[in-house]
Structure 1
């Protein structure tokens, strides 16, 4: 009888993973032990600011994001010369430095989107939305970000 392995197999998920310039990706990163690190607005704001850091922006263009208390969903388009893994690494480092310590599980989930409109429209849920600095969002335990024209 085969034994069921209890060791993590995250590297198996990365086999065959490659980055394509111009492709839109849906990324999910999770906090260590799924701890609700972003339950407070001020802490979640650090995660939001990291999307726009010059280091991250050099690799990807952020199209939309959702910051939940214990994880982040991120829709991004890969820039020329960038890699998804490097963009996620830089995002995680930026947030961890802002929070004063490691916040993330090692791996991340990734999926390509069919097209820009499909991706950008998917988080546009009919919730009350407010605008600040050209990004629409919602306060509380969830922050949804999408580009808007109300600067």
Structure 2
């Protein structure tokens, strides 16, 4: 019997309030749901909701056509709870927007806890440059689904 890969991702996972994490989650079946700007904005609304609820502070994010990279500082609760809440609420919003039902995100997510000495601004630049590396745009300012607390889009 093949084990669900997410079990391996969860093994050894530890949540620490105040720590910065880079979370990556992928759409179910790698569907390119977020080629559509308006569908992507439903996900953005939920990123903002997690911050307004006090669960986490978003430092930067980029929503690619089939996945999300999210640099976030955990404010309360566990990383698992944050990801679960975000994915559940964003899936509901996307399904409602599209008039569909079903799974939006793959099970699990990838996370990396940042060390205190890592340069957050350099990592944020790397994260938001994903559309450039994927040849979706020639300038990051032309890509509509990203944000960062420090960066100027020009």
Shorter-chain TM-score range: 0.7 to 0.9
| 1:56 CA drift (Å) | 7.1
Aligned to 1:134: none
SS of residue matched to 1:90: helix
What is the aligned counterpart of 1:40 among 22, 36, 41?
A: 36
The two structures have a TM-score, normalised by structure 1, of: 0.77
Q: In the alignment, is the contact (CA less than 8 A) between 2:9 and 2:108 conserved in 1?
A: no
Q: TM-score, normalised by structure 2?
A: 0.76
Extract unaligned runs of 5+ from structure 2.
96-100, 133-138
Counterpart of 1:122 in structure 2 is 123
1:1-150 alignment runs, 5 A limit: 6-54=2-50, 57-79=53-75, 81-100=76-95, 101=101, 102-115=103-116, 118-124=119-125, 125=129, 127-129=139-141, 138-139=143-144, 143-148=145-150
More helix by share: 2
How many matched pairs?
135
Q: Are residues 37 and 56 of structure 1, via their aligned partners in 2, closer, same or farther at CA, if it must alter by over 3 Å?
A: farther
Q: Residue 62 of structure 1: SS of its match in structure 2?
A: strand
Q: 1:32 to 1:56 in 2, by over 3 A?
A: farther
Greater Cα radius of gyration, structure 1 or 2: 1
Q: Please, which runs of 5 or more residues in structure 1 have no aligned partner?
A: 131-137
- The alignment yields a C-alpha RMSD, in angstroms, of 2.5
Q: Go from structure 1 to structure 2 and tell me whether the alpha carbon gap of 1:93 and 1:60 turns closer, same or farther (over 3 Å shift).
A: same
